[in-house]
Amino acid sequence: MMKTLTYTLLIGLVLFASCKNEKKEAKVVSKEGFKTYTSDSIGISIDYPDDFEPKENIKQQIPIAFYEVNDDTSSYLFHPNLLTQIRPIPPVKISASEYLQATQTQIKLGMQSKVPDFKTYAVDSMQVDGVTIGSFKYDIPFNDTTNFTCKMYIALLKDQAIELNCTTVSKDFDKYESTFDTMIKSIQFKKK
């Protein structure tokens, strides 16, 4: 009886210690040329370049964003960036391609009042950590001299969609697209 009680207490202490060490805070680990951002609450880890910095909760719907750091840190508007949005999915059967199409349609409807001939293009998909991630691009006119290009990546998980918007000034997008793709390919999803 005493032995059983001792083992039960020991197991309880081990479980308590392991729960105590499981933090809900984000962690950053350095690798050569990249750092890894991990968040249990968001449910992902992602590699990002050393010259980018993570910004948490810049808006309620954007739990984590990554911005390229440069000399002008007063405004992130023109910095290449990756914004992460987490959207809950109602319990209905929808395929990743249907969700991707619905997202494109939603963006088109939102943009048509500003840009009547708005189009998405370059639809593609890839496998990352066992999850299909669809992507498409679109251009956003900002003013007479500056336009932005966005490449949106969407991962459809069991009960949520993770949307990753990678944006930069259009004239620089080709220079950053491979960096964005590398970031996306590094994602690991917390399995539920």
120/134 Cα distance (integer angstroms): 13
CATH of residue 161: 3.40.1000.10
**Segments forming the whole domain that contains residue 43:** 25-189
48/30 Cα distance (integer angstroms): 10
Q: Which residue from 141, 143, 189 is spatially nearest to 164, judged by alpha carbons?
A: 189
Give all strands of the β-sheet with 27-31 in edge-to-edge order. Answer: 27-31, 34-39, 44-49, 188-189
Report the number of distinct structural domains present in the chain: 1
Does 110 fall in a domain? yes
pTM of the model: 0.78
Reply yes or no on whether the pLDDT at 88 is more than 90.
Answer: no
Share of the chain above pLDDT 90, in %: 48
How many alpha carbons lie under 13 Å from residue 76 in its C-beta half-sphere? 15
Does 54 fall in a domain? yes
Does 6 fall in a domain? no
Confidence at 182, pLDDT banded by 50, 70, 90 = very high
Does 12 fall in a domain? no
pLDDT at 173: 94
Does 13 fall in a domain? no
Does 1 fall in a domain? no
- Give the distance, in angstroms, between the CA of residue 183 and the centroid of all CA atoms in the same chain: 9
Does 75 fall in a domain? yes
Does 79 fall in a domain? yes
Which string of b and e fits 158-183 if b means at least 16 CB within 10 Å?
eeebbbbbbbbbbeebeebbebbeeb
Q: Which residue has the higher pLDDT, 113 or 39?
A: 39
Q: What tokens does 133 get? A: 């991630």
